[in-house]
């Protein structure tokens, strides 16, 4: 390979991966800064949660439009517009003076940031030859998988040493570098005439926004006890079904060709990726609660303890990226699922007396497994698709990943909340003054069952034990989710794309 070509590919990779990293980081980096933002902006807890919700909803709506805008504007031009808009919106978020402004700017961030991940995937897929596509997907996967793990750590550190505003300002220099490299090295694609399907866009926007809103805020509103969740669910389900009917009825004018899911590999890879949301984000949601809330770890230490999971994922991705072309990807995905299940099962042995090592190694095992799943799955997903549909497919694949993670996080938080209440009631039934075990325990602390200090102490301990037990139940569910996904691997086909880029005959 000529040195100039290798150099150009390196700069393309740096350009698109830096853009991907800042977009993925922004989904989690502000989480730990929310209390600081709430105090400085004078917002209620419900109002400040819109800083997260607005970004997720707007990015989910615009993700499927990646193919349309790539065709109309050209892939390079659209990438430059998205990077510039995302950087500008990030700067505006940093200077926001009230909650209304920051929510509006986060909406804008989501609009421009939505296409950065699918565009980077499509560009990386085209920049590397077929025999190195596994390596390209491994590099792309690093930003997508490691970003959410690093987000809370980086956000906590920036908030502690500077201000919550720096969780947004950090995007400006990185985004500027990404824009410069993309303008110089990313190749342009041919522009195509396409008409905007306003009916399809409206139905899709209603469907995705309704579902994303319900999934993001459902647990806070006690799900269908809240009228807004009921309305959002009805609108989301109705809009999605109406969009599917409309697209099949009028394929010539549809926003995107929904029949792309008929491709066996792409459809099954999307199904596995959606189901993976539970296991991918389960540990990330629960571990900070365990470490900070129950074990008393400082926020920076929590980030350091969680970092090995992301490092393990990065290592396994780089290794598997070199193996994809020489090994049946189905075996790699199945091995990854078994490793992830083993790591999740080990997490069911957590307790309040656990040391740091026993927190880290199960998470690392799970991280190794996720890396083995993510790269071959992303490679197989596009193996039988025509190159002209890559940007559109990448947008849909990213949307499925986003919605799958939203469903997974909603299931986890709901189960954790409900199961904590169930276990608290079960344990509380044994806490009464005539229980000899309770009396003996309080006597060792020189307290009587009627002492207010004793009541407060026992209540706190029961709450702690209930939450830990609920976490173990969630980890059991995550373990089973990986096990139940194994049969789906058998449906995937092993495909090889020849050098001309057209789909090859599938090999069973």
**What is the model's pLDDT at position 388?**
66
Place of tokens 């990448």: 394
Q: Which helix (H) or strand (E) holds 145?
A: helix 133-161
Of 80-89, 116-125, 168-177, the range with the highest mean pLDDT is 80-89
Give pLDDT, residue 499: 34
**Rounded to the nearest 10 degrees, how much is the dihedral formed by the CA atoms of 120, 124, 127, 133?**
-170
Tell me how far apart the alpha carbons of residues 419 and 29 are, in angstroms, rounded to a whole number: 28
Delimiting residues of CATH 1.20.1250.20 domain(s) in the chain: 1-187, 256-508
**Percent of the chain's residues with pLDDT above 90:** 4
Of these ranges, 7-16, 44-53, 124-133, 146-155, the one predicted with the greatest mean pLDDT is 7-16
* Per-residue model confidence as pLDDT tens digits over 41-50: 777 666 676 7
Secondary structure of residue 494 in the 3-state scheme: strand
Which two three-digit tokens encode residue 381? 């997903």
Packed helices 390-428 and 50-62: angle between N→C axes, nearest 10 degrees: 150
Rounded Cα–Cα distance for residues 198 and 234 (Å)? 21
Q: What are phi and psi of 156, to 5 degrees?
A: -65, -40
Q: Specify the pTM.
A: 0.74
CATH 3.30.365.10 fits 256-508, yes or no: no
CATH superfamily of 1-187: MFS general substrate transporter like domains (1.20.1250.20)
Output 175 or 265, whichever has higher pLDDT: 175
Are 166 and 94 within 8 A, CB to CB?
yes
Q: Closest Cα to residue 202, out of 252, 229, 228, 238?
A: 238
Res 376 pLDDT > 60:
yes
Residue 1, pLDDT > 60, answer no
- Residue 100 above 70 pLDDT? yes
150: pLDDT strictly greater than 60: yes
| Range list of H helices, 289-446 | 299-323, 329-347, 356-381, 390-428, 436-444
Measured distance CA(198)–CA(42) in Å, rounded: 38
CA–CA separation, 281 and 4 (whole Å): 40
Residue 85 and residue 79: Cα distance in Å, rounded?
10
Region of 324 please: left (phi>0), alpha (psi -120 to 50) or beta.
Answer: alpha
The count of residues in the chain is 508
**CB atoms near residue 356 (< 10 Å):** 13
pLDDT digits (tens, 9 = 90+) for 188-215: 777 777 777 778 778 888 888 888 788 7
Give the integer Cα–Cα distance in Å for 147 and 24: 6
**β-bridge partners, 507:** 494
pLDDT at 85: 93
Q: How far is CA 251 from the centre of its chain?
A: 31
CA dihedral 164, 170, 171, 176 (to 10 degrees): 150
Q: Region 101-117: what's the mean pLDDT?
A: 87
Question: 260 CB contacts (<8 Å, ≥6 apart)?
Answer: 266, 385, 389, 392, 393, 396
SS in 3 state form for 235-253? HHHHHHHHHHHHHHHCCCC
**pLDDT confidence tier of residue 134, bands split at 50, 70 and 90:** low
Alpha-carbon distances of 447 from 435, 451, 464, 465, rounded to whole Å: 15, 6, 20, 21
Choose among 365, 371, 323: nearest CA to 140.
Answer: 371
Q: Which residues are registered as beta bridge partners of 494?
A: 507
Q: Which long-range contacts (CB under 8 A, 24 or more apart) does 289-297 make?
A: 289/416, 289/467, 289/471, 290/350, 290/359, 290/468, 290/471, 291/359, 293/467, 294/352, 294/464, 294/467, 294/468, 295/352, 295/354
Confidence (pLDDT) at 2:
52
Q: Tens of pLDDT along 418-447?
A: 888 888 887 777 676 666 767 676 667 666
Angle at 72 between CA 66 and CA 74, to 5 degrees: 80
Token match 């230490």: residue? Answer: 301
């Amino acid at each position: 390979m000529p040195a100039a070509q290798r150099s150009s590919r390196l700069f393309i990779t740096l350009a698109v991966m830096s853009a991907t990293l800042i977009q993925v980081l922004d989904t989690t980096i502000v989480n730990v800064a929310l209390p600081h933002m709430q105090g400085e902006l004078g917002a209620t807890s419900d109002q400040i949660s819109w800083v997260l919700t607005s970004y997720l909803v707007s990015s989910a709506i615009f993700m499927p439009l990646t193919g349309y805008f790539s065709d109309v504007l050209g892939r390079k031009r659209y990438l430059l517009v998205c990077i510039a808009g995302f950087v500008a919106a990030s700067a505006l978020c940093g200077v926001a003076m009230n909650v209304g402004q920051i929510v509006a700017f986060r909406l804008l961030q989501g609009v421009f940031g939505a296409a950065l991940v699918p565009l980077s995937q499509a560009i990386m897929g085209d920049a590397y030859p077929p025999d190195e596509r596994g390596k390209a997907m491994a590099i792309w996967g690093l930003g997508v998988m490691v970003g959410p793990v690093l987000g809370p750590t980086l956000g906590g550190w920036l908030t502690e040493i500077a201000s919550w505003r720096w969780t947004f300002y950090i995007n400006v220099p990185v985004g500027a570098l990404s824009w410069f490299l993309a303008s110089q090295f990313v190749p342009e694609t041919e522009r195509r005439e396409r008409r905007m399907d306003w009916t399809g866009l409206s139905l899709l926007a209603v469907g995705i926004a309704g579902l994303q809103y319900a999934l993001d805020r459902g647990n806070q509103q006690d799900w269908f006890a809240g009228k807004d969740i009921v309305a959002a669910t009805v609108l989301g389900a109705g809009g999605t079904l109406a969009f599917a009917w409309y697209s099949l009825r009028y394929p010539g004018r549809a926003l995107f060709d929904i029949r792309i899911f008929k491709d066996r590999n792409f459809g099954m890879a999307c199904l596995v990726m959606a189901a993976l949301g539970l296991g991918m984000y389960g540990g990330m949601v629960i571990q900070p609660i365990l470490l900070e809330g129950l074990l008393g770890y400082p926020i920076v230490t929590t980030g350091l303890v969680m970092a090995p999971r992301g490092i393990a994922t990065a290592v396994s991705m780089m290794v598997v990226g070199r193996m994809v072309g020489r090994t049946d990807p189905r075996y790699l995905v199945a091995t990854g699922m078994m490793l992830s299940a083993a790591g999740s099962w080990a997490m069911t042995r957590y307790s309040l007396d656990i040391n740091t090592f026993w927190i880290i190694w199960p998470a690392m095992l799970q991280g190794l497994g996720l890396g083995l799943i993510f790269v071959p799955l992303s490679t197989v997903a596009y193996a039988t698709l025509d190159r002209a549909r890559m940007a559109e497919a990448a947008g849909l694949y990213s949307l499925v990943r986003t919605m799958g993670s939203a469903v997974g996080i909603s299931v986890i938080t709901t189960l954790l909340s409900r199961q904590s209440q169930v276990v608290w009631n079960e344990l509380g039934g044994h806490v009464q003054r005539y229980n000899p075990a309770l009396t003996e325990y309080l006597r060792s602390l020189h307290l009587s069952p009627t002492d207010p200090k004793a009541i407060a102490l026992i209540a706190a301990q029961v709450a702690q034990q209930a939450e830990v037990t609920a976490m173990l139940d969630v980890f059991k569910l995550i373990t089973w989710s990986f096990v139940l996904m194994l049969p789906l691997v058998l449906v995937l086909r092993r495909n090889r794309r020849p050098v001309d880029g057209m789909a090859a005959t599938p090999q069973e």
